[in-house]
Amino acid sequence: MPSSTAFSAKLKAGEGGIHVEVADDGKGMEPDKVKQLLNPTAKSRRGIGLSNTNRRLTQLYGQGLSIRSKPNEGTTVSFVIPDNMNKGLDLSPGAIL
């Protein structure tokens, strides 16, 4: 029987800005693997998605992705869009979808 992984996505206007978080209860990662995902010079990386997103968030907002993960406990990826950068964003459920 195949196993399944649950995930959640949260978008919350809070202190300092809009907090975006995506989490799963999958197999998780060791700390070295997390560092490798955000390092654009890592030789063993297979894709550029997370490192590119991290770089762009850092350029736009001064801070990038936060990745918390533990083996067999899942992974959480989050970031904040600062208050001064989200003027006029519509956070209503219909606008987000």
Domain boundaries, the chain: 7-83
State whether residue 52 is helix, strand or coil.
helix
The tokens for 15 are: 């202190």
Strands 7-14, 17-24: parallel, antiparallel or unpaired by DSSP?
antiparallel
Q: What is the pLDDT of residue 97?
A: 46
Taking all residues of the chain, what is their mean pLDDT, rounded to a whole number?
Answer: 83
Q: 7-83, what's its fold? A: Heat Shock Protein 90 (3.30.565)
pLDDT score at 75: 96
User: 36-62, pLDDT tens digit by residue?
Assistant: 888 766 555 566 788 889 999 999 889
**What's this model's pTM, rounded to 2 decimal places?**
0.76
* Per-residue pLDDT at 49: 85
